[in-house]
């Protein structure tokens, strides 16, 4: 296993509007570490498809596995051919789906993604479609796209646009102190700094809490619990008006994030 000096925190929550319409959480994430590096991906399935969460999971896992295989074969993440090759690996998986599951399976494989490959030498951040990424405290929002229609890698095997994996950043790993990858729901989370947590007399707080507060790295369920807390519907009794008052959760869309933070040296 690699000895990269990073702690990892991750979590996901079903969006308020998806819960109301009876849909599943259509986000997915995957984080794996191998002998030559670490790969992390978040993916967001197209909301109009009935099983897009399955496509998002397949895509995230395939991309992570393919990236690790390329690293273990000696390919460097900073080369010009790394992302095109990685894209080809994912498209090969998508092209094989119709034979195994039927042509309609491709429609469930429309997903955006934001990912990172971290080796001892370099850290590469890349994307296809919308989402959010942060490096050392600087947050970048990808999208929105016209008509709320982000580009999907699967278009290339459906006779549509040839969507690339886009390099967002390539830096020396020794210069990485914190890195966040998020689906587009994280953009909503970013706006909630001053909002009140349902059923609690406290503000949500800034997005930076997820890479600055130790609690998210000391407990593997801490991010999940916080996101669930923010999206809990609260109900209180209004005794004057003789009615129940319901306050909806704060996150309308599925929200998923993965955070890497440089491990502090203990003295």
Q: Is the pLDDT of residue 150 over 90?
A: yes
Judge contact between 195 and 164, C-beta under 8 A. Answer: no
Exposed/middle/buried for residue 48 (C-beta within 10 Å: 0-12, 13-18, 19+): exposed
pLDDT tens profile 4-45: 999 999 999 999 998 888 888 999 999 999 999 999 999 999
Residue 238's pLDDT band (cuts 50, 70, 90): low
Share of the chain above pLDDT 70, in %: 93
Q: Kindly report, residue by residue over 89-119, the tens digit of the pLDDT.
A: 999 999 998 776 677 777 778 999 999 999 9
Residue 64 has pLDDT above 60, yes or no: yes
Domains of the chain: residue spans and CATH: 6-262 (3.60.40.10)
Q: 200 to each of 62, 92, 240, how far by Cα in Å?
A: 40, 48, 21
pLDDT of residue 225: 97
DSSP assignment of 85-132 equals: HHHHHHHHHHHHHHHHH-GGGGGGG-EEEEEEEE-SSEEEEEEESSEE
Instruction: Tell which residue, 184, 198, 193, has the closest CA to residue 248.
Output: 198
pLDDT attached to residue 240 = 74
CA distance 76 to 74: 6
Q: Encoding tokens for residue 96?
A: 């094989």
Peptide bond into 198 cis (omega under 30): no
Average pLDDT of span 129-142? 98
Cβ neighbours of residue 174 under 8 Å, at least 6 residues apart?
none
- For residues 216 and 162, the answer to whether their CB atoms sit within 8 Å is no
């Amino acid at each position: 296993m690699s000895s990269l000096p990073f702690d990892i925190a991750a979590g996901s929550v079903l969006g308020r509007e998806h819960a109301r319409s009876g849909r599943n959480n259509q986000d997915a994430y995957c984080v794996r570490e191998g002998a030559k590096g670490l790969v992390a991906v978040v993916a967001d399935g197209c909301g109009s498809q009935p099983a897009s969460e399955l496509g998002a999971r397949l895509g995230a896992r395939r991309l992570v596995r393919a990236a690790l295989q390329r690293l273990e074969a000696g390919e460097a993440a900073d080369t010009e051919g790394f992302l095109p090759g990685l894209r080809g690996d994912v498209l090969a998986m998508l092209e094989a789906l119709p034979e195994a599951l039927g042509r309609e399976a491709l429609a469930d494989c429309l997903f955006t993604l934001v990912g990172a490959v971290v080796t001892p030498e370099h850290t590469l951040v890349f994307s296809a479609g919308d989402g959010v990424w942060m490096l050392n405290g600087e947050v970048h929002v990808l999208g929105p796209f016209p008509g709320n229609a982000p580009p999907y890698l699967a278009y290339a095997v459906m006779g549509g646009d040839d969507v690339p994996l886009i390099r967002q950043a390539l830096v020396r790993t020794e210069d990485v102190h914190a890195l966040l990858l998020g689906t587009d729901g994280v953009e909503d989370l970013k706006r909630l700094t001053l909002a009140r947590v349902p059923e609690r007399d406290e503000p949500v707080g800034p997005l930076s809490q997820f890479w600055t507060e130790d609690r998210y790295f000391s407990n593997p369920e801490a991010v999940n619990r916080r996101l669930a807390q923010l999206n809990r519907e609260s109900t209180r009794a209004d005794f004057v008006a003789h009615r129940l008052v319901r306050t909806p959760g704060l996150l309308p869309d599925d929200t998923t994030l993965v955070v890497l933070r440089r491990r502090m040296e203990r003295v």
